[in-house]
A and B are shown apart, each in its own frame.
Chain A
Amino acid sequence: MAKGKSAAGRRVQGFKQLEFWTDPYLSTWMALTPYERLRRAWRMRSRIRNLQAVHDAKSLPKL
Chain B
Amino acid sequence: MRSLFRSFERFEVEYLLISGQAAILYGAATFSEDIDIWIRPTRENAARLMRALAACRARVYKLTPPVARRTLMAGHGFHFVIPARGTPAYLDIMGRPPRVGSFSSARRRAPMMRTPWGRIPVVSIPDLIALKRTRRLSDYEVISSLVQIRIAQEAPPSPALLRWALVNSFRVEDRIDFARRLGIRASVEAWRRRIFSEIARYQALDTVHWSRVIRDLRRLRRQRRLLLEGMPVSRLLRP
Contact = CB atoms under 8 A, between A and B. Distances in A.
In terms of DSSP, what is the predominant structure of the interface of chain B?
A: mixed
B160 interface: no
B44 interface: no
B153 A8 contact: yes
B104 interface: no
A37 B149 CA distance: 14
Interface residues of A, number: 38
A32 B30 CA distance: 12
A55 B33 contact: yes
B86 A46 contact: yes
A58 B104 CA distance: 27
B121 to A, nearest CB: 13
24 contacts: A12-B152, A15-B151, A18-B148, A18-B177, A19-B171, A21-B148, A26-B145, A32-B27, A33-B114, A34-B27, A35-B113, A35-B114, A38-B24, A38-B115, A41-B21, A44-B30, A44-B31, A45-B87, A51-B90, A54-B33, A55-B90, A61-B77, A63-B218, A63-B221
In the A-B complex, list the 7 residue pairs whose CB atoms are closest, starting with the nearest: A34-B25, A20-B148, A55-B90, A30-B27, A41-B24, A39-B116, A54-B33
